[in-house]
Chain A
């Protein structure tokens, strides 16, 4: 089961990186969203996958009886989901503002902060 999930995570990362390499902000945004999910899935798989085994220590014992999924990675994912969601929301608004203010979503044309044509350097004193 883990092997299939590893493959799925790999596909997620491939798609995310492909989209992140795009020049268009909207595709980059989609890439960010998929990247966040790829990481979450990766941590989830890292915490072992078992079907329907609650990680409950039986009465009188100190440790788990069988092989159960680790609950901690799921808590980590919960944190990461909240964080990546808030970042995605911020970047979505930022991209929209950038589109409104700079009237482009092509990063090649976003040269306001670093203009392409700069005046020559002062040479004399």
Chain B
């Protein structure tokens, strides 16, 4: 038998087995919590009357957990927990840094708002078909994707959230939904398959799946491994998940078909998971390749913004217009990723968080508009201002927020992105950002004019003041107040986001958390 020529492996580090510290359990808790509630709800198949309360309690708990997690990460830096004490890079690591914790917290807030809204939107039949278990499992997938530190594990969470979203999108089984779900299902499956292909190549070149380990080894592999091909594949896969321009067509085909609360959750969560993965892989794992691809990504971002906003201008259906605005927002985030640097990445993260809250609230508003006006279509939607003044005010604030006007949350990321683009001399990108903001104002303003201020035609639709159920008004108002608060007092969030962006570009603290004492 041939004697091994490789140097003897240093096993001393692997033989140190310490129990997991109690605080580290917080890292895995959001996922375990959602899975436990999902399982509980699946078991309670018959008493569907209990479902909403259990789910809302679970989601409220999730917000608390994610809040604690963010606080912990702010206080003590990235945290790592390794499954089964298999030390990295061999075990599956969950590593949470500021970016992951911020996204997870925003996602849980969106999900809680959706859970409350669903009290008035999902009837008994929807509950019987399992809306709440799907919602909790979707959140397990979303939280897992934000918190994991292992790229194959990220793929698995993508699939968990995708299969739950399939369950949600066909809930109700109307003809429109089946049509939308076919396009959504096939194209998203192709996107995750592309992600899997890229992961396969990555493992074949790196011999590791741990993100921190990949970030460490990328430097030494630049000469030999096809890293540009890998990065291009990842950008295509995540761009498709995020609905970036040439591969965005599944989104406007499907997002207006399911229940309003499902659309709202999708708009707030799914495309943002794609964007998060794109930021994580291109900025932290393969930074030099991102710089190589930055022109392509900037062009794609500018086209995505403009295609999105022109699509929004052309629509006469409230929810279809919002679908195009989601795409337009993705373009702005991509522009930030392409520009890079603290301003670009920070702006991208900020814009993504803002977009999660505001797009969800806007979909809620479309549901309220349909309840009050009896339709989603501009052709028959009119006189909403007369029906409910408070709701009209909330809608106007959200329209300003999504257009990036002060004093709402959309303003600051837009400023950061425009400034970052100008700083590197990409004036055309800055112009695209500003033109998009202007056109978004026109698209939403036109909607407001026609649906809210125009008087309802005679004999069509009531004109008296109407009541909105508290379960709908509460999450809508809460999200609006949140975006106003972020717009008025951005300092703390802004500094946290800047730290998060710095932690991505310079991941030494992330590496230290996964490999204590062994980082460069």
Q: Quick check: A46 and B204 within 8 Å, CB to CB?
A: yes
B407, CB-defined interface residue at 8 Å = no
Q: In chain A between 72 and 93, which residues have their CB closer than 8 angstroms to a CB of chain B?
A: 72-73, 76, 79-80, 83-84, 86-87, 90-91
Closest to A36 in B: B193
Q: Are A125 and B203 in contact (CB under 8 A)?
A: no
Contact B178 A101 (CB under 8 A): yes
**CB distance A87 to B163 under 8 Å?**
yes
Query: Given B2, B3, B175, which contacts A112 in the complex, CB threshold below 8 Å?
Result: B175
A64 and B4: CB pair below 8 A?
Answer: yes
**Could you say which residues of chain A place their CB within 8 Å of the CB of B6?**
63
Residues of A within 8 A of B4 (CB): 61-65
Does B68 belong to the interface (CB within 8 Å)?
no
Check A47–B204 contact: CB distance below 8 A. Answer: yes
Q: Are B173 and A97 in contact (CB under 8 A)?
A: yes
Interface centre among A25, A87, A113 (most CB of B within 10 A): A113
Given the complex of chains A and B, what is the CA–CA distance between A97 and B179 in angstroms?
Answer: 10
Query: Within 8 Å CB of A86, what residues of B?
Result: 163
Cα–Cα, bound, A76→B3 (Å): 30
- Report Cα–Cα, A87/B192, bound state, in Å: 11
> Is B179 a contact partner of A39 (Cβ separation < 8 A)?
no
* Identity of the chain A residue whose Cβ is nearest the Cβ of B380 in the assembled complex: A122
Specify which chain A residues have a CB less than 8 angstroms from the CB of B200 in the assembled complex.
39, 42-43, 46, 73, 76
Residues in A neighbouring B11, C-beta threshold 8 A: 62
* A116 interfacial contact with B, CB 8 Å: no
A102 adjacent to chain B (CB < 8 Å): yes
Within 8 A of A (CB), among B1-23: 1-4, 6, 8-9, 11
Interface residues of B (CB under 8 A from A): 1-4, 6, 8-9, 11, 152, 156, 159, 162-163, 166, 170, 173, 175-183, 185-186, 189-190, 193, 196-197, 199-201, 203-204, 252-254, 256-257, 314, 316, 378-379, 449-450, 454
Task: Please tell me if the beta carbons of B163 and A90 are within 8 angstroms of each other in the complex.
Answer: yes
Residues in A whose Cβ lies below 8 Å from that of B314: 121
Question: Is A69 close to B, CB under 8 A?
Answer: no
Complex CA gap A65/B4 in Å reads 5
Contacts of A83 in B (CB 8 A): 156, 159
Bound-state CA distance A111–B179 (Å) is 7
**Which of B190, B199, B257 is in CB contact (< 8 Å) with A113?**
B257
Of A36, A58, A80, A90, which contacts B166 at CB under 8 A? A90
- What are 15 A-B pairs with beta-carbon distances under 8 A? A32-B186, A39-B197, A43-B203, A46-B200, A63-B9, A72-B203, A73-B200, A76-B152, A90-B166, A97-B173, A98-B178, A119-B379, A122-B379, A122-B450, A125-B449
- Contact indicator A119/B316 (Cβ below 8 Å): yes
Most chain-A CB neighbours within 10 Å: which of B3, B197, B200, B454? B200
A125 and B204 alpha carbons, distance in the complex (Å): 61
Question: Are B179 and A98 in contact, CB atoms less than 8 angstroms apart?
Answer: yes
Query: Is B179 a contact of A35 with CB atoms below 8 Å?
Result: no
**B189:A95 contact, CB within 8 angstroms:** no
Contact of A112 with B186 in the complex, beta carbons under 8 Å: no
A87 CA to B156 CA, complexed, in Å:
13
Q: Name A residues whose Cβ lies closer than 8 Å to a Cβ of B.
A: 20, 25, 28, 32, 35-36, 39, 42-43, 46-47, 58, 61-66, 72-73, 76, 79-80, 83-84, 86-87, 90-91, 94-95, 97-98, 101-102, 107, 110-114, 118-119, 121-122, 125
Q: A32-B189, A47-B203, A113-B177 are in contact. List 8 more A-B contacts (CB 8 A).
A: A28-B186, A58-B1, A64-B4, A73-B204, A76-B152, A86-B163, A113-B180, A113-B254
A55 to chain B, nearest CB (A): 13
- A-B contacts, CB under 8 A, total: 121
Whether B379 contacts A110 by the Cβ 8 Å rule is: no
Q: Which applies to chain B's interface (DSSP): helix, strand, loop or mixed? A: helix
In the complex, what's the smallest C-beta–C-beta distance from A35 to chain B, in angstroms? 6
Q: Do B182 and A98 have beta carbons less than 8 Å apart?
A: yes
Q: Are B203 and A46 in contact (CB under 8 A)?
A: yes
Residues of B within 8 A of A113 (CB): 176-177, 179-180, 183, 253-254, 256-257
Residues of A within 8 A of B450 (CB): 122, 125
What's the Cα separation between A86 and B9 when bound, in Å? 40
- With both chains docked as a complex, state the minimum distance between the C-beta of A118 and any C-beta of chain B, in angstroms: 7
A94 touches B178 (CB 8 A): yes
Interface centre among B6, B181, B189, B449 (most CB of A within 10 A): B189
B379 — which chain A residues lie within 8 A by C-beta? 119, 122
A43 to B198, CA, bound (A): 10
Q: Smallest distance from the beta carbon of B311 to chain A beta carbons, Å? A: 11
Which residue of chain B has its CB nearest to the CB of A119?
B379
B182 partner, pick from A35, A39, A95, beta carbons under 8 A: A95
Task: Decide: A94 and B182 in contact? CB cutoff 8 A.
Answer: yes
Task: List residues of chain B with CB within 8 A of the CB of A118.
Answer: 316
Nearest CB in chain A to that of B5: its residue: A63
Cβ contacts under 8 Å, A110 to chain B: 179, 182-183
Residues of A within 8 A of B199 (CB): 76
CA distance A123 to B441 in the complex (A): 18
Set of chain A residues within 8 Å of B183, measured between Cβ atoms: 107, 110, 113
> In the docked arrangement, what's the CA distance between A73 and B209, Å?
11
- Asked whether A102 lies within 8 Å of B179 as measured between CB atoms, the reply is yes
A76 CA / B92 CA spacing, docked (Å)? 12
Cβ–Cβ < 8 Å partners of B156 in chain A: 79, 83
**Known contacts being A66-B2, A113-B180, A114-B252, is A101 close to B175, with CB within 8 Å?**
yes
Q: Could you say which residues of chain A place their CB within 8 Å of the CB of B163?
A: 86-87, 90
Complex-state Cα separation, A23 to B511, whole angstroms = 47
Identify which of A28, A32, A114, A121 contacts B316 (C-beta below 8 A): A121
> A63 CB to closest chain B CB, in angstroms?
5
Report chain A residues within 8 Å CB of B253.
113-114
Q: Which of A42, A62, A79 contacts B197 (CB 8 A)?
A: A42
Residues of A contacting B179 with CB < 8 Å?
A: 98, 102, 110-113
A20 and B189 contacting across the interface, CB-CB below 8 Å = no
B190 partner residues in chain A, CB cutoff 8 A: 20, 32, 35
